[in-house]
Amino acid sequence: MPITFISPANPSEMDPGIWSHLPEELLDHILCFLPLKVIFNLRSTCKRFKTLVFEPSFISKYYSTSPSSASPLSSFLLLSHPQFHTHFLLYESILGSWRKLSLSLNPFVPSSSLLSTSNGLLCFSLPSSSSFLVCNILSKSSRVVEFPKLPFSFEFITLISSNNGFKLFIIASGSSSNCAYIYKSKSESWRQFDGFGQILSDNYHQPAVCRNDCLYFTTSDPASVVCFDLESGHWRAPIAELPSELTFMRLVSDGKGRLFLIGGVGRNGISRYLKLWELGNGGENWLEVETMPDMMYRKFVSVCYHNYEHVYCFWHQGLLCIGCYTWLEILYYRVARRTWHWLPKCPSLPENWRCGFRWFSFAPELCASV
């Protein structure tokens, strides 16, 4: 008996009877070959597709399979300035060039200021509603976190993102300057810690650095690096004796356990060199890594005018970045190659903007949870 094949009315469409019975593993593998934009458009079709893009297992498979994603999502250095309001200029570090389009955060943030970033999440202050906003621009998800009390003023905020959600660490200012607060998204609650003023004195104008679920701070009198355990709420003894003749110091963590110290070396508050150290030997001492080349150091000094309070540092995709609030350029050290570079100026920035600049690391992640 001859076999008769029945063709679908439209040969380009798959028979729904076959499509609906595909194993999930095979369906996920097929989806990995689609552009990311198409996968996002599929989110509205069913519950399965709505949650798929946030599953770490699918994200890992997508980036290892999809021909349209030979490399991970682009990572950016994000430039914030009071004049930008809700738009931010992006420097694509992988391609080494400025993007022509700015990143618009509407409708998330009608009136706010960017405070901190972590693993694809951005944290803003919303003064008009006495709250913070933590959002994932890529997944278009957000969470509003109300201030721990009213009235409330704070010195700085640190956003810590993990697989289990995020934490906000804040040191209060004003009448509550001896207190710190930690918000955990998993429990949706604040916790207060006292005694910060006695340990940090007036040194907490520099944001904390997170490493292995602990926050690290520098103190100047006496000069030391102290550690606060986020889970237990206890302080640890100062770690490793610091290098001598430091005029200022900043900490940077790579997010994977490495801790770096950047500091000026000199006397009477004037730096003659800028050096980089890494915490080594199980945390027992600081190992010298590099000294900034003299020509680059001269430009750095001309930018900050020895006013080191304006200097800040952060980590971005293998780059150790050094910025100054009074200058739009940024200096970075490529750790793998042991080379120093100045980031090129953005051609669209007005020449008369001279202060208020703040750089952040922004590496979009679909599965960064709010």
Each residue's pLDDT tens digit, 295-330: 999 999 988 888 888 899 999 999 999 999 888 889
* CA nearest to 73, candidates 368, 369, 363: 363
- Measured between alpha carbons, how far is 191 from 41 in angstroms, rounded to an integer? 39
- Per-residue pLDDT averaged across 343-360, rounded? 79
Residue 13: the pLDDT is 62
> What's the CATH superfamily of 76-362?
Kelch-type beta propeller (2.120.10.80)
* CA nearest to 128, candidates 145, 112, 106, 104: 112
- Residue 198 CB burial class (10 angstroms; 0-12, 13-18, ≥19): exposed
116 or 6: which carries more pLDDT confidence? 116
Residue 369: the pLDDT is 85
Proportion of the chain above pLDDT 90, given as a percent: 38
- Per-residue pLDDT averaged across 263-279, rounded? 94
Mean pLDDT computed over every residue of the chain: 82
DSSP state of 139: T
Radius of gyration of the chain (CA): 24
Residue 103: the pLDDT is 53
pLDDT beyond 90 at 216 = yes
* Domain locations in the chain as residue ranges: 20-69, 76-362
pLDDT beyond 90 at 273 = yes
Res. 70 pLDDT band, cuts 50 70 90: very low
Residue 247: the pLDDT is 92
Residue 117: the pLDDT is 95
Residue 289: the pLDDT is 96
Neighbours of 57 (CB within 10 A): 10
Residue 113: the pLDDT is 83
- Measured between alpha carbons, how far is 292 from 275 in angstroms, rounded to an integer? 6
Res. 4 pLDDT band, cuts 50 70 90: very low
Residue 159: the pLDDT is 96
The pLDDT tens digits for 128-152 are 889 999 998 877 788 999 999 988 9
Residue 71: the pLDDT is 43
Residue 109: the pLDDT is 54
Residue 112: the pLDDT is 73
Strand partners, 134: 123, 143
- Measured between alpha carbons, how far is 143 from 137 in angstroms, rounded to an integer? 12
- Measured between alpha carbons, how far is 127 from 221 in angstroms, rounded to an integer? 34
pLDDT beyond 70 at 224 = yes
Residue 12: the pLDDT is 57
pLDDT beyond 90 at 40 = no
- Measured between alpha carbons, how far is 195 from 209 in angstroms, rounded to an integer? 19
Residue 305: the pLDDT is 82
Residue at 187: amino acid letter: S
Residue 68 has φ and ψ, to the nearest 5°, of -85, 0
Residue 69: the pLDDT is 47
Residue 281: the pLDDT is 79
Those residues with Cβ within 8 angstroms of residue 229's Cβ, 6 or more apart along the chain or in another chain: 213, 214, 235, 236
Res. 6 pLDDT band, cuts 50 70 90: very low
Residue 349: the pLDDT is 75
Q: Give, for 299, the enclosing helix (H) or strand (E).
A: helix 294-304
